[in-house]
Amino acid sequence: MTDTTTPTARRVLLAAPRGYCAGVARAVATVEKALEIHGAPIYVRHEIVHNKYVVESLKRKGAVFVEETTAVPEGATVVFSAHGVAPLVHRQAAKRNLRAIDATCPLVTKVHKEAVRFARDGYHILLIGHEGHEEVIGTSGQAPEHITVIGGPEDAATVQVRNPAKVAWLSQTTLSVDETTATVAVLKERFPRLASPPSDDICYATQNRQAAVKQLSADADVVLVVGSANSSNSVRLVEVALEAGAGAAHLVENVGHSDEAWLDGTHTVGLTSGASVPDVLLDQVLTWLAEHGYREVEVVRAAEEHQHFALPRNLQ
């Protein structure tokens, strides 16, 4: 049990920015707007964003989550998730006469366009990312003949390419900034003429959330990251916290999954949340911490964010 007799000795370092990014806010608003305009049910291919709370609350409003477009009745409305889809999925939807609304984050679309351009110019593209992640499947699908997925520095050291003079790299938007830098360094060593994307593929939200957690981790006995286990950017925040010196770090789906044992012997708790996590989930953890004596809250800000994305055109 945690001692709660000396509350003032305990504090929370609260990361900023944290929580919802502009792409997630847009994706959730897209489903809500589609429900408002077209009425329930609205079919959503895959989890709109990787957060169980968000998915369950949209289900209650009339969203139906499916794995594939083949599960959507002919002529119905389908929303594609923030992670993006391959062109093949758009073709499948058209074939079934579905009204498709694309909630792909514009920053994922940017990576799709880079993939198409590199493929058109004859490059072998090494896509740094997690094999099987929806975003990686969607990006690979832009130019399947030209893309090889690599996971990190080890894969970069061994991957075979068609022509070492014609290699480009791209990445998933939610990777660890430091690990991706290390992977690219290995690639550059092997392929001196390696072509890079015009700007970073790791998005602003991922970078800012990692920078904030990095900033507070050295002073934190434990860091709690609110987020789902299938949320890539949330899992990365746990890894970044540990690498940056946190005594321990845990992913917390919601306050119901928090464990008092994590607080044993701690005075400073770092707290953040992934880009797909609504504020309510973090606020509940903050309340739980206050109940355990961690009432002093200090915000550790790494960046200001003003990013906003308009809804998909067919909903405006």
Show the tokens assigned to 297: 């809250």
Show the tokens assigned to 184: 């690219």
Is 134 marked active-site?
A: no
Q: Please state the length of the chain.
A: 316
81, 206, 234, 273: which one contacts ligand SF4 (CB under 6 A)? Answer: 206
Show the tokens assigned to 217: 């981790």
Using the minimum distance from each CB to ligand SF4, give the nearer residue, 9 or 303. Answer: 303
Residues within window 213-252 making contact with ligand SF4, judged by CB under 6 A: 233
Pattern of binders to ligand SF4 over 161-200, x per CB under 6 A?
------------xx--------------------------
From 16-24, 117-125, 148-156, 183-191, span contacting ligand SF4 (CB under 6 A): 16-24
**Can residue 81 be called a binding residue for ligand SF4 (CB under 6 A)?**
no
How far is it between the farthest Cα atoms of the chain? 66
> Which one from 134, 135, 179, 260 is the annotated catalytic residue?
135
203, 211, 224, 241: which one contacts ligand SF4 (CB under 6 A)? Answer: 203
Show the tokens assigned to 202: 């790791």
Least distance from C-beta 126 to ligand SF4, angstroms? 19
Report the residue number whose CB is nearest to ligand SF4: 23
What is the C-alpha to C-alpha distance for residues 132 and 16, in angstroms, rounded to an integer? 30
Q: Compute how many other C-beta atoms are within 10 angstroms of the C-beta atom of residue 31.
A: 25
Beta-strand (E) ranges in 141-282?
147-150, 167-171, 222-226, 249-252, 268-273
Least distance from C-beta 46 to ligand SF4, angstroms? 13
What is the C-alpha to C-alpha distance for residues 218 and 314, in angstroms, rounded to an integer? 46
**204 phi/psi in degrees, rounded to 5:** -55, -40
Q: Which residues pair with 223 in a beta bridge?
A: 249, 270
Show the tokens assigned to 36: 């408002």
Angle at which helices 204-217 and 232-243 pack, to 10 degrees?
Answer: 30
Least distance from C-beta 86 to ligand SF4, angstroms? 17
- Residue 290, C-beta contacts closer than 8 angstroms, at least 6 positions apart: none
126, 275, 285, 315: which one contacts ligand SF4 (CB under 6 A)? Answer: 275
Residues within window 90-149 making contact with ligand SF4, judged by CB under 6 A: 105, 107-108
Nearest C-alpha neighbor of 33 from the set 63, 68, 70, 53: 63
Least distance from C-beta 89 to ligand SF4, angstroms? 18
Least distance from C-beta 22 to ligand SF4, angstroms? 5
User: By three-state DSSP, how is residue 92 classified?
Assistant: helix
Using the minimum distance from each CB to ligand SF4, give the nearer residue, 7 or 106. Answer: 106
Residues within window 22-51 making contact with ligand SF4, judged by CB under 6 A: 22-24
Least distance from C-beta 25 to ligand SF4, angstroms? 9
Interface residue list for ligand SF4 (CB under 6 A) = 21-24, 82, 105, 107-108, 173-174, 203, 205-206, 233, 275
Active site residues: 135
